[in-house]
Amino acid sequence: MVILSRIYTKTGDAGTTALGDMSRTSKTDPRLVAYADTDEANCAIGEVVAGARSPEGREGLDDDVLALLTRIQNDLFDVGADLCAPLRPAYEYPPLRVQEQYVADLEAAIDVYNADLPALRSFVLPGGTLAAARLHTARTVVRRAERSTWEALERYGTEPVPVDDGPGGVSVLAAQYLNRLSDLLFVLSRHANREVGDVTWAPGGGRQEAPGRSDG
């Protein structure tokens, strides 16, 4: 159980914050940036779910999609918990970690919702239904969270490090989860537009032909 009885602690007023193992780091640490971006991604998905309460925001989002997105919001808290806990050889209290099944579940969902979509013959613009546009916004935030996670991985690696020997590694499964999630959100945005069709890219805003095309 998590009990939040105090909202402000003043412990971060010097520009540092506590990680999951209670070690402290700068608020600009790539590890912290990664789970902060993951938190923002969760907020973007929350807008999709909350927007479904209106007819415009609900268009293209069936109950199964909303249930999936709600589960993903919970998963993203797990991702954040994983990212904020450096990899150590041993723990007094083992932290929550993203498991391979998390990634496999996303891949299965991608296969389900992509199965009936028409083949793409151009890049897709964020648009169509309001839900689809919001899903595209969420997708781009997830992509940023993934990039931040890879930056943390480049800084700290993936090896467990004893707490007295310095910062521990970062779980690569967290980055893989975010990668698959961005793919799923792209598929769900197209799924949300299945009645109206994809909004596709016109090179040059329609003022010129796509590269490689010729009338000759």
Q: How much is the pLDDT for 23?
A: 66
- pTM for the predicted model, two decimal places: 0.86
How far apart, in whole angstroms, are the C-alpha atoms of residue 169 and residue 174? 12
Instruction: Write the pLDDT tens digit of every residue in 101-133.
Output: 999 999 999 999 999 999 988 899 999 999 999
Domain definitions of the chain by residue range: 27-199
Q: Are 45 and 69 in contact (CB under 8 A)?
A: yes
Q: How much is the pLDDT for 214?
A: 52
Angle, helices 100-114 vs 172-192, to 10°: value is 20
Q: How much is the pLDDT for 117?
A: 94
3-state secondary structure the chain: CCCCCCCCCCCCCCCEEECCCCCEEECCCHHHHHHHHHHHHHHHHHHHHHHCCCHHHHCCCCHHHHHHHHHHHHHHHHHHHHHCCCECCCCCCCCCCCCHHHHHHHHHHHHHHHCCCCCCCCCECCCCCHHHHHHHHHHHHHHHHHHHHHHHHHHHCCCCCCHHHCCCECCHHHHHHHHHHHHHHHHHHHHHCCCCCCCECCHHHHCCCCCCCCCC
Q: Are 61 and 46 in contact (CB under 8 A)?
A: no
Nearest 10 degrees: CA dihedral of 101, 51, 62, 122?
-80
- Of the candidates 1, 87, 93, 82, which has an alpha carbon nearest to the alpha carbon of residue 39? 82
Q: Dihedral sign, CA of 175, 153, 35, 172?
A: positive
How far apart, in whole angstroms, are the C-alpha atoms of residue 207 and residue 47? 35
Tens place of pLDDT per residue across the chain (216 aa): 555 555 545 555 546 565 656 566 666 688 999 989 999 999 999 999 999 988 888 888 999 999 999 999 999 999 999 998 888 888 778 888 999 999 999 999 999 999 999 998 889 999 999 999 999 999 999 999 999 999 999 999 999 988 878 788 999 999 999 999 999 999 999 999 999 999 989 888 767 665 565 554
Q: How much is the pLDDT for 168?
A: 86
CATH for 27-199 (3.40.1170.60, 3.30.930.10, 1.10.730.10, 1.20.1200.10): 1.20.1200.10
